[in-house]
Amino acid sequence: MALDQMHLVQTDKPQDRLWAIEQVLQSDSFGALFMWLPEEKTLCNPTVLRRLQYQATRSQGLSFVFRPIRAQMQPSPASLRLCLTAQSSNSLRVHLIKRRGPVLEQAILINLPKPQGALPDTPHSQELVRALDRPELQTIPQPTRSQITI
């Protein structure tokens, strides 16, 4: 996806984030919406989740909701709920929390392709990645094009 087609909305208050999400869903002028919902249970109560889910089903775009792992035990109107965890540097564990059809108790393990030019998965490379994963060494800029702050 080209950065000039991406809009990043950052808010100071969690309730403003919910408002912005609802506005985007109602506009139906997006291809995909990635939502990080506030962690406060009072803001993400079942009524709010049902309203967001209803608006998402009325839109033409794809909607993805990201919540903390502890939210997996809370009720949700979503028809598909996944818990994704990294198994290693090149594998992802997918546990289906909720889906239509029979229960699938066993998690699915997905092996991810290594990016071209990636470091080999050795103890030395893992140590290097840990050493570089310090806040003072983070040099990758956040997307700023079409950034909206509320």
pLDDT tens for each residue of 22-76: 999 999 999 999 999 888 888 889 999 999 999 999 999 999 999 888 888 888 9
Q: Flag whether 69 is in a domain.
A: yes
Give ∠ CA 77-150-147 in degrees, rounded to 5: 95
Q: Flag whether 126 is in a domain.
A: no
pLDDT above 90 coverage of the chain, percent: 43
pTM of the model: 0.68
Q: Flag whether 68 is in a domain.
A: yes
Domain that holds residue 11: 3-114+144-149
Q: 34, 17 in Cβ contact below 8 A?
A: no
For residues 56 and 146, what is the distance between their CA atoms, to the nearest angstrom? 23
Higher pLDDT, 118 or 80: 80
Return the top range by mean pLDDT from 22-26, 83-87, 118-122. 22-26
The label of the residue with tokens 């809009």 reads 7
Domains in the chain: how many in total? 1
In the numeric block, which tokens belong to residue 125? 């490379």
Q: Flag whether 50 is in a domain.
A: yes
> Please, which residues bridge with residue 33 across strands?
63
Q: Flag whether 96 is in a domain.
A: yes
For residues 56 and 53, what is the distance between their CA atoms, to the nearest angstrom? 5
Q: Flag whether 135 is in a domain.
A: no
Q: Flag whether 137 is in a domain.
A: no
Please count the other Cβ atoms lying within 10 Å of the Cβ belonging to residue 94.
Answer: 14
Q: Flag whether 129 is in a domain.
A: no
Give the pLDDT score at 106.
92
